[in-house]
Amino acid sequence: MSQPDLDDLGIIEDLVTGEAVVLDLRPASFLSRAVALILDWLVVVVTFLVVFYGLSVVIVISDAAVGAAVGLVGFLAVFIGIPVTVETLTRGRSLGKLAMGLRVVRDDGGPIRMRQALIRGLLGFFEIYLAYGSVAIISSLSNRRGKRLGDHLAGTYVVLERTPTNARTPPAVMPPRLAGWAAGCDLGRVPDRLAVATRQFLARAARLHPASRERLGIGLAQQLSAYVAPQPPPGTHPEEFLAAVLAERRERDLRRLRAEAEARAAREARRRAASPLSPLGDSLVGEDDGAPAR
C-alpha cells in the first residue's frame, strides 16, 4: 500500500499530542522570518547605542581593564542577554516576531523555555552577527521548517501564529451519488493524522500539480479504504471516496454528540422531577418546581 507524502500537504508529522490530536502549526515563511529579524536587529542596534551612551561615562573615567569589562558585559547583555530574556518571558516572541505574527515553539508544538531561548541566542549571535547571517540563511533555506542552526540544536522552529480566518480548512461535502453507500457502510476509527491529511488534501487539491494530485489522492484512498466496509461502488473517483468518508464521519460524530447531549438533558430532567426522598432526586424537601424553599 503506497504511503502519501504528508510533507507535500504541509502536515508536520511530529506535531501530535499524547491524546492523538494533530496540531496544525504552520512554519513561518523565510520572508516573514527575515522581516522579523530585521526589525529585531534594528531594536538591538538602538538598544546598543542607548546602553553604551549611558555607560560611556563609566568607561571613560575608569581604567582600561574596568572599562573593557563594563563594555563587554554591556555588549553581551544587549546582543544575547536581552533577546534571550524577552523570548523566555514571552514564550517565543520578540518584538519583530510579534509584529509579523510569529512565535518560536518546540518541535512538539509546546512553548519554549529558558534553555531553548539561551541556545537560540548563543547560536544566533554566531549565525546572524559574526557570520553576517550567511549560516542562518543557508540553514533556513535547506530545511522544510526554515530552521536555522540554533533551532536545530534547541529543538525549536518558528510558526505563523496569526492566520487569516478564511485559511481554515472547509468541511468535506458528501457527493450525492455516494450518500446512500456512506450511510450504510461500516466506518471504523480513522486515525486523526490520516483524517487531517485527507481533509487538507481535499482543500488544496485544486492547487496541486495534476500528477501529485492523482498520486496523493490514490494513496490516501488506499489507506482510508482499510477502515471502510464495504468498499465504494466500482468506478468511484478517489477524491469522491475521500469526501464521502469524511462527510459521513463528521455526520456520525455530530449525531453522537447530539444524542449524548439529549441523554444528559433527560437525566437532569428525571433528577429534578423525582421525589426529594428518591435516590435520583436532587431537590430539597420544601422546594416547589425547582424554586428554592423559603
Residues 262 and 181 in one domain: yes
Domain residues for 99?
A: 27-162
Residues 147 and 51 in one domain: yes
E-strand spans in 33-130? 102-106
Give which of 113, 145, 103, 108 is closest to 17, Cα–Cα. 108
Identify whether residues 151 and 180 lie together within a single domain. Answer: no
pLDDT score of 18 more than 70 = no
> 133-154: per-residue pLDDT in tens?
899 999 999 988 889 999 999 9
Of the pLDDT bands very low, low, confident and very high (cuts 50, 70, 90), residue 173 is confident
β-bridge pairing 156-160 and 228-229: unpaired
| Residues 204, 90 share a domain | no
β pairing state of 102-106 and 228-229: unpaired
Same domain membership, residue 155 and residue 82:
yes
Say what the pTM is: 0.55
Name which of 215, 254, 224 is nearest 242 in CA terms.
Answer: 224
The CB-side HSE value for 37 (13 A sphere, CA atoms) comes to: 20
In terms of residues, how long is the chain? 294
Task: Give the model's pLDDT for residue 168.
Answer: 56
What is the grid cell recorded at 24?
496544525
Q: Residue 165: is its pLDDT beyond 50?
A: no
Do residue 109 and residue 197 come from a single domain?
Answer: no
Give the number of domains in the chain.
2
- Between CA 147 and CA 237 the distance in angstroms is 38
